[in-house]
């Protein structure tokens, strides 16, 4: 089965604490790879990757809380995001732990998941996010709640519009986004801070992917992350922050290469004590 002949992922859902969590499942017969998107995005951002990895990997991509077709939660805490992902992995079951891939927000959630639930995570793929985060999404608070037409909404979104097409929806009262901008700003505030303990606190193999033109993850910080954590590879591609969308072919090739070598890596230690945090 080639990437071009792979069927489209199937939409499914589960309920966690009374909330709906929606996800896309490629249904491939291979081992499980859980994909977690960044702010403003949703599960279908990883559909091209699912096609590229079929049929050797089953890619399940989650609409994280408050994004896509998943319900709005009471909070956007790290614990909440992580427990959602853990609940999905338990729901999916399977013969063993999953590879977990995350972009930006999803990358931090991925390595926190490996830290808190090491038996659920076989390996990590972290796309363009650091162990220290300091971002500001307050600019999105100016985006309209509704617009009379799709064209009017895209015009109001300005330069951000090309990055938000997956999130555009038609509602009974007009056109809007699949998320609330105030939620995204709150989620980013909760994401900001020092995450070194979680990054260094798991022992599974990891691939750290960085865009060389990224304004989010610097070269120096990425190299410090890779040097400080055993069994971590750093791969840099000539893109900005959204590596998987800007250069899907080379992104998929880097992921595939990492996955190919996983079987030759020794078993991971569970719950090891994190080494000392690198000095700035």
Burial class (CB in 10 A: 0-12, 13-18, 19+), 263: exposed
Q: What is the dotted CATH code of the domain comprising 3-135+192-262? A: 3.40.50.1820
Please give the model's pTM, rounded to 2 decimal places.
0.92
Model confidence over 197-217: pLDDT tens digits?
999 999 999 999 999 999 999
CB 60 within 8 A of CB 14: no
Torsion over CA of 173, 175, 180 and 184, rounded to 10 degrees? -170
pLDDT of 169-202, one tens digit each?
Answer: 999 999 999 999 999 999 999 999 999 999 999 9
CATH 3.40.50.1820 domain residues, the chain: 3-135+192-262
235-277, pLDDT tens digit by residue? 999 999 999 999 999 999 999 999 998 866 555 544 444 444 5
Confidence of residue 96 (pLDDT cuts 50, 70, 90): confident
Q: What is the pLDDT of residues 39-85, one digit of tens each?
A: 999 999 999 999 999 999 999 999 999 999 999 999 999 999 999 99
Report the pLDDT value the prediction gives residue 278, as an integer from 0 to 100. 56
């Amino acid at each position: 089965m080639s990437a071009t002949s792979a069927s489209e992922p199937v939409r499914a859902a589960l309920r966690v604490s009374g909330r709906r969590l929606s996800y896309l499942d490629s249904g491939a017969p291979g081992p499980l790879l859980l994909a977690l998107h960044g702010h403003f995005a949703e599960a279908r951002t990883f559909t091209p990757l699912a096609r590229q990895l079929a049929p050797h990997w089953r890619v399940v991509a989650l609409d994280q809380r408050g994004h896509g077709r998943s319900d709005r939660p009471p909070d956007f805490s790290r614990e909440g995001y992580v427990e959602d992902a853990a609940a999905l992995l338990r729901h999916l079951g399977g013969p063993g732990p999953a590879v977990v891939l995350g972009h930006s927000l999803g990358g931090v959630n991925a390595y926190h998941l490996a830290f808190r639930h090491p038996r659920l995570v076989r390996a990590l793929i972290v796309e363009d996010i650091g162990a220290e985060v300091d971002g500001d999404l307050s600019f999105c608070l100016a985006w309209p709640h509704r617009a009379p037409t799709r064209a009017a909404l895209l015009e109001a979104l300005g330069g951000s519009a090309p990055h938000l097409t997956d999130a555009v929806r038609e509602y009974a009262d007009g056109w809007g986004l699949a998320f609330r901008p105030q939620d995204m700003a709150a989620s980013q505030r909760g994401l900001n801070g020092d995450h070194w303990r979680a990054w260094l606190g798991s022992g599974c193999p990891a691939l750290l992917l960085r865009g060389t033109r990224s304004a989010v993850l610097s070269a120096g910080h990425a190299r410090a992350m890779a040097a400080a954590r055993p069994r971590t590879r750093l791969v840099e591609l000539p893109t900005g922050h959204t590596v998987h969308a800007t250069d899907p072919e080379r992104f998929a090739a880097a992921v595939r290469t990492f996955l190919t070598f996983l079987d030759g890596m020794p078993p991971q230690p569970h719950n090891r004590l994190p080494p000392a945090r690198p000095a700035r």
